[in-house]
């Protein structure tokens, strides 16, 4: 109590209880308000200075998961770069049957289906799936699906069908186990999915990390070629590493 009296005396020039007039009491009240305000501001300044800066979770994730991961294989890197480049060109999806040249045939780059993403990326590294699949089907037609009631090969469309690519990759010994471990799916790998209703899908694993930590997939499922975190969005039915 004595300490408090001393502080008030030094701050205001008189001791509590020594004033008697309303004017003195008013002055005392105003000065107490000012002192209280100063004390509160001082406390807040000290408290703010003692806190550490905390980064948003999203920023922390980006630092832990770099946007891209280096790819040591030049072939894989070229294939991935081509697939990602397609995201700026192919802006639509068109499953129509089109007569195309052979070999090296393609539909317009602005459109296509999911298989065209893979076909174009592989052509960047001198693998023409149109020619490769056609030649293998011509010699081993019975090994391929009969889903389309065909009696002969068709270089316009055979390589653009997911089930045919799956058989081709398997026949070439490029299959890997299908797992739910994202770490098993590395840049350049090809993945196929069952969408249900008899529909299948295909995409290529990029070297771009998504916030989830998984590698994003380059694919075209209906709105043009996209780079998206969709590895486990559907049931995986095929996993292949060609290079």
Using CB atoms within 10 A of its CB, is residue 204 exposed (0-12), middle (13-18) or buried (19+)?
Answer: buried
* Cα(182)–Cα(232) distance, integer angstroms: 9
Average pLDDT over residues 32-59: 40
Look at residue 239 in the predicted model and tell me its pLDDT.
99
Could you say which architecture CATH assigns to the domain 66-240? Alpha-Beta Complex (3.90)
Beta strands per DSSP E along the chain: 190-196, 199-209, 215-220, 225-228, 235-240
Look at residue 58 in the predicted model and tell me its pLDDT.
31
Q: Would you say residue 61 has pLDDT above 70?
A: no
Q: Cβ distance 234 to 201 under 8 Å? A: yes
Look at residue 224 in the predicted model and tell me its pLDDT.
98
* Cα(225)–Cα(14) distance, integer angstroms: 81
The domains of the chain are located at 2-50, 66-240
Bridge partners of 240, per DSSP, are: 175, 190
Look at residue 42 in the predicted model and tell me its pLDDT.
46
| Token code pair at residue 243 | 């290079």
Q: What is the pLDDT of residues 165-212, one digit of tens each?
A: 999 999 999 999 999 999 999 999 999 999 999 999 999 999 999 999
Q: What is the pLDDT of residues 38-49, one digit of tens each?
A: 544 443 333 333
* Cα(12)–Cα(191) distance, integer angstroms: 80
Q: What is the pLDDT of residues 110-160, one digit of tens each?
A: 999 999 999 999 999 999 999 999 999 999 999 999 999 999 999 999 999
- pTM, 2 dp: 0.74
């Amino acid at each position: 109590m004595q300490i408090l009296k001393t502080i008030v005396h030094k701050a205001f020039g008189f001791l509590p209880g020594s004033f008697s007039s309303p004017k003195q009491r008013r002055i005392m009240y105003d000065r107490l308000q000012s002192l209280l305000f100063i004390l509160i501001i001082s406390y807040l300044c000290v408290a703010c200075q003692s806190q550490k800066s905390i980064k948003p979770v999203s920023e922390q994730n980006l630092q832990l998961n770099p946007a891209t991961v280096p790819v040591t294989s030049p072939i894989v890197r070229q294939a991935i770069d081509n697939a990602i480049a397609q995201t700026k060109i192919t802006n639509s999806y068109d499953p129509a049957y089109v007569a195309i040249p052979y070999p090296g045939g393609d539909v317009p780059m602005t459109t296509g289906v999911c298989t065209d993403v893979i076909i174009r990326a592989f052509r960047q590294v001198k693998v023409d799936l149109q020619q490769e699949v056609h030649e293998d089907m011509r010699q081993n037609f019975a090994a391929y699906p009969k889903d389309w009631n065909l009696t002969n090969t068709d270089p316009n469309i055979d390589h653009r069908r997911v089930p045919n690519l799956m058989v081709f990759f398997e026949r070439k010994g490029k299959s890997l186990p299908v797992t739910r471990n994202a770490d098993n799916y590395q840049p350049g790998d090809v993945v196929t999915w069952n969408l249900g209703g008899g529909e299948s899908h295909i995409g290529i694993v990029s070297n771009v990390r998504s916030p989830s930590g998984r590698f994003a997939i380059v694919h075209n499922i209906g709105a043009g070629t996209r780079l998206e975190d969709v590895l486990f969005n559907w049931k995986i039915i095929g996993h292949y590493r060609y290079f």
